[in-house]
Amino acid sequence: MGFNLQITVLPDHLRILNTGEFSLPALFEFIGQVKSEAEKAGRNAVLVDSRGITGNISEVDRFMGGQHSAEVFGTRLKVAILMPVGSVTKMAELAAVNRGARMLVTDSEAEALDWLLN
């Protein structure tokens, strides 16, 4: 089963709040949903608030998620991902950015918005 999503279209970006239990299949489905929702909204900047995701996310899962994000988002989307304090490892970000994606993973909403909108 996938994540629960709350989508808000703002003038300069799309905000997606996702909650639920982590699984790799749910993450892969979610990545596709992010692209689809951004296209529907006509936005290239997306703030993903994943602070409500529960469960264990291994480094391998993070790597695979970053790799898949790069494949799906390409260079068109700029995506900032908010994670709970103490859970950011940068593995997904590194995997995505090294493959050409524009992605930031942080626990600071101010940092995420500053990076996303500048």
Which CATH number, 3.40.50.2300, 3.30.750.24, 3.90.1300.10, 1.50.10.10, labels domain 4-117? 3.30.750.24
Mean pLDDT over each residue of the chain, to the nearest integer: 97
* Model confidence at 44: pLDDT above 70: yes
Over residues 63-101, the pLDDT tens digits come to: 999 999 999 999 999 999 999 999 999 999 999 999 999
Q: Residue 2's pLDDT is what? A: 87
Over residues 15-32, the pLDDT tens digits come to: 999 999 999 999 999 999
Reference 68, options 33, 111, 19, 41; nearest CA is 33
Q: How far apart are CA 75 and CA 60, in angstroms?
A: 23
* Model confidence at 1: pLDDT above 90: no
> Domain limits of the chain?
4-117
State the residue for tokens 């799309």.
14
Q: How far apart are CA 55 and CA 71, in angstroms?
A: 25
